[in-house]
Each structure stands twice: as C-alpha cells, then as structure tokens.
C-alpha cells in the first residue's frame, strides 16, 4: 500500500488527538497532498519507509508555511506532524505505548478502552480511538502488509509483525462489543538468568541449579499460567546452551532470541491461508527438526499432538531439550502431557506416563505474585513407579506467592552426576548442597 493510499484511507478517519486538534489534523491531511508526489512516494514506500517518512515530514513543513497556519505554535505543529505520521505509518494512538520499553503488552477492548501492562500490573491508558471505524482501519492497515485477512468469515487472526510484536485480533460477530486487539511486545533486551536473579525471580542457588540442569543435558519443561514468565525463563535457559551444539527452535510465533550462539536454526509455524490451505503445524516442524541433526530442540510451547513427537525425540537421543506448557502445578504437567499425547495416538495412560517421566527430568513452575512480579514457584522431578504403573512428582523446591525466598525440600537426584560429567564444578556443588540444606 502506497503512502498516499494510506493518507487517503485516514482522510475520513477521525484523529486520536484532542477535540481541539481534530479539525487542524484533517486540514493538514488535505493540504499535504498538494506537496507530495503520489507516484514518487508509491515507488519508495515498500523498500524505503524511512525516506517515505521524511517525504511526509517535508510535506507537513511546506503545508505549515501557508498563512492559514501562521498562528499555530511550533510545538502544536510538531504534534500534528507526529500524529499524522503515527496514523499513516504506525499504530496511531498506540504508538506511544509501543515506544515505551517499560510496557510489555497492550490490550484494546474497544475505542475508548485501552489498557497496558507495565511491571506486571494492568493500567488504563489515556490513549483512545475515536470510534470502531478508526480501530478497524488500524487493524486492517497492520494486517494488510502481512498478507492476513480479517472479516466475518475469518474473524480471528494471530500474527507476528516484522518488529517481532505478536498481534491478536478478534472482531464481531465473535467479539460482541466491537474489534478487540492485543499486542504482546517483543522485548529488545534478552533477559538472562543473571537478569532474572537480579529482579527477584529466584536467588543465586536457583540460578546455579538451572545452569547445571542445562549443562547436564536435563530435559526441562517450564510450566505456568498465562503471563507468568514461561517464555522469558525458557529464553534465559536457552542462552545457557553450549555454543558447540546445534540448536533448533520451534515456535508458533517466534519470540526466542539468543545472545551470541553461533548455531541456531529458528522455525515458525504457519497458519492456513485465506483459501484454507498451506498450514504448517508445530508437530510438522518437530517431525522435520528430527531430520536436521539437532543436538537440542527448543519448542516454544507444547499444546497439542506435537507432545508425542517431543517425547519421542527426548527419549531417542535428543535429551537436554526445552519446552513450555500451560499447567497449574508440576503434577498437572503429567496429566496435561498425557492428554496432549492422546490427541495424537490412543496409548494406555501408564505407557504415556512412563515416557513422560523418562523424557522430562526437571519441571520448573513459574507464577505471578500479587504485585505482578514473576518468579519460580516450584521445581520438581518426575519419577515413574513401575509397580503402581504411574508417574509421581518429587518436589525439590517451593516458594509461596507472598514469600520473598523459597525453600529446598530435597536435593536433585542427578546433582552428583552433573559434577562427575563436568557440567558443574564439584566444589561448587558441595557448597551449593550445604547452602540449600540451610534453607530447607
């Protein structure tokens, strides 16, 4: 879509600026078309968006030279220019929230109901849209370049923007009160285990445990509720993977990033197109990843039949792999994985639980505290009881919602093995064991 096409699209769309500036912005939209060459801008829009922005700024400056704008202060002129650029190129009223690095998620429940998340807390924004039409125009403008369509026949869309932000949109008739949009921002900074320790997600003893688990090639499942920090922790764990290994990541919407790992292949699932074809699922990608000589596989989230392929991979030489899933507790992880596997094949429950216990050696549960902060609430091992033919959970660590520090209940069964194979320094392990016993 060319710049001038976008300008024309917003000509009839009310501004998000205060009422006193609506008319001024509309006049500016009309005036700049006198100075901007439609053909020239259309030619550079796709490949040189920066130059297109400069052309629009230049047209605004020329428009302000008209005598009709003589009484408008420079500050107001700049605001009008920024408003127009945000409307044509960006997210309009949401642009300031996207630019704020402290904002992690933006939720638009309707034209006048905009919320955002900062430091784990939900806040109401002063930004708003004029009406459903302006919000819908923004949605269409965002999804258009991605080749995604949303209408009554296909009223839900989940997409990833070029900047990495994840956008979910749902419109009537499914959304009863008008268009609804959620934007999960892509953090520019990669959180490491050290960063998470510094923010209080866990202490030094837990950080050491997690590092050793990754280095000792223990397969880890990070479980928790929505917004509990599962993906953040998974990314931090991934940053500990040895640079000598070949890593393949598989995600529904790409979020994982590595600091300086030299050998990472990133795969992303693809939804079906408007004709209902072309879908590539997580399970398809897991199956293909096994043919790509991976040392470790990192699945952004297990949520369906791909759990079967993930278990098979972990039990056939791809130990040390990582994934996340929605579960309320480590015990719930077993039942959730059992259910997911049965989406793919109807095996006896005890057979599935045996495979789950042999595949996943560490379960890390994340939670959100009452103040919005995220932390590791539980760590557990899975043990299969051959006599009872069921999988049991051995609790290692627990921390309550109101506790500043948790307590270790037991030592990992593999901790001495980690020292033997060189995944951890023996003296450090012995000091760690003495430390966690003091906390128990």
**Position 35 pLDDT exceeds 90:** no
* Strands of 194-350, DSSP E: 220-224, 247-251, 264-268, 296-299, 322-326
Percent of the chain with pLDDT over 70: 88
Rounded to 5 degrees, φ, ψ at 406 are -95, -165
pLDDT at site 375: 96
Handedness of CA 86, 92, 93, 99 (dihedral sign): negative
* 193-439 classified as CATH 3.40.50.300: yes
pLDDT at site 372: 87
> Range with the lowest mean pLDDT among 2-11, 93-102, 150-159, 234-243?
2-11
| Contact by Cβ (8 Å): 304, 194 | no
Separation CA 324–CA 384 (nearest Å): 21
What 8-state DSSP symbol labels residue 190?
Answer: P
Q: Please state, in angstroms and as integers, the Cα–Cα distance from residue 67 to each residue in 21, 25, 62, 71, following that order.
A: 18, 16, 11, 8
The two tokens of residue 36 are 């901007």
Separation CA 311–CA 286 (nearest Å): 11
Separation CA 409–CA 381 (nearest Å): 12
Separation CA 286–CA 145 (nearest Å): 28
Q: Model pTM?
A: 0.80
* CB proximity list for 349: less than 8 A, separation 6 or greater: 338
Separation CA 64–CA 355 (nearest Å): 70
According to CATH, the topology of domain 92-186 is Beta-Lactamase (3.30.450)
CATH 3.30.450.370 in the chain is located at 92-186
pLDDT at site 95: 87
pLDDT of 237-276, one tens digit each? 999 999 999 999 999 988 898 878 899 999 999 888 777 7
């Amino acid at each position: 879509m060319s710049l001038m096409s976008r300008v024309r699209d917003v000509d009839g769309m009310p501004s998000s600026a205060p009422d006193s500036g609506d008319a001024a912005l509309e006049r500016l939209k009309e005036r700049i078309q006198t100075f901007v060459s439609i053909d020239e801008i259309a030619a550079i829009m796709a490949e040189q968006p920066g130059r297109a922005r400069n052309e629009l700024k230049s047209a605004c400056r020329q428009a302000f030279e008209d005598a009709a704008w003589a009484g408008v202060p420079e500050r107001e002129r700049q605001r009008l220019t920024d408003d127009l650029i945000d409307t044509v190129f960006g997210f309009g009223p949401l642009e300031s929230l996207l630019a704020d690095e402290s904002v992690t998620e933006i939720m638009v429940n309707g034209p006048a109901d905009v919320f955002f998340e900062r430091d784990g807390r939900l806040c109401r924004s002063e930004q708003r849209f004029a009406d459903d039409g302006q919000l819908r125009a923004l949605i269409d403008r965002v999804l258009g370049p991605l080749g995604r369509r949303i209408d009554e026949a296909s009223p839900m869309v989940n997409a990833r923007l070029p900047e990495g932000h994840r956008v979910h949109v749902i419109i009537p008739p499914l959304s009863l009160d008008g268009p609804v949009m959620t934007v999960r921002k892509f953090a520019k900074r990669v959180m490491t285990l050290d960063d998470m320790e510094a923010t209080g997600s866990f202490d030094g003893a837990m950080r050491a445990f997690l590092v050793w688990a990754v280095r000792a090639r223990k397969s880890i499942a990070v479980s928790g509720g929505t917004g509990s920090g599962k993906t953040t922790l998974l990314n931090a764990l991934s940053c500990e993977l040895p640079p000598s290994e070949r890593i393949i990541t598989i995600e529904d919407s790409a979020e994982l990033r590595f600091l300086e790992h030299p050998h990472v292949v990133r795969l992303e699932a693809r939804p079906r197109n408007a004709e209902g074809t072309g879908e590539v699922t997580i399970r398809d990608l897991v199956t293909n990843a096994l043919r790509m000589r991976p040392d470790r596989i990192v699945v952004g989230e297990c949520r369906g039949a791909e759990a079967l392929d993930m278990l098979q991979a972990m039990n056939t030489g791809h130990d040390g792999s990582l994934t996340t899933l929605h579960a309320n507790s480590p015990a719930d992880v077993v039942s959730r994985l059992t259910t997911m596997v049965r989406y793919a094949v109807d095996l006896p429950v005890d057979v599935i639980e045996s495979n789950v216990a042999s595949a996943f050696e560490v379960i890390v549960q994340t939670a959100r505290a009452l103040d919005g902060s995220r932390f590791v609430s539980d760590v557990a091992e899975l043990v299969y009881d051959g006599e009872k033919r069921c999988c049991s959970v051995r609790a290692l660590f627990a921390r309550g919602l109101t506790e500043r520090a948790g307590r270790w209940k037991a030592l990992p069964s593999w901790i001495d093995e980690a020292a033997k194979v060189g995944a951890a320094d023996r003296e450090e392990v012995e000091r760690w064991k003495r430390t966690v016993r003091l906390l128990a």
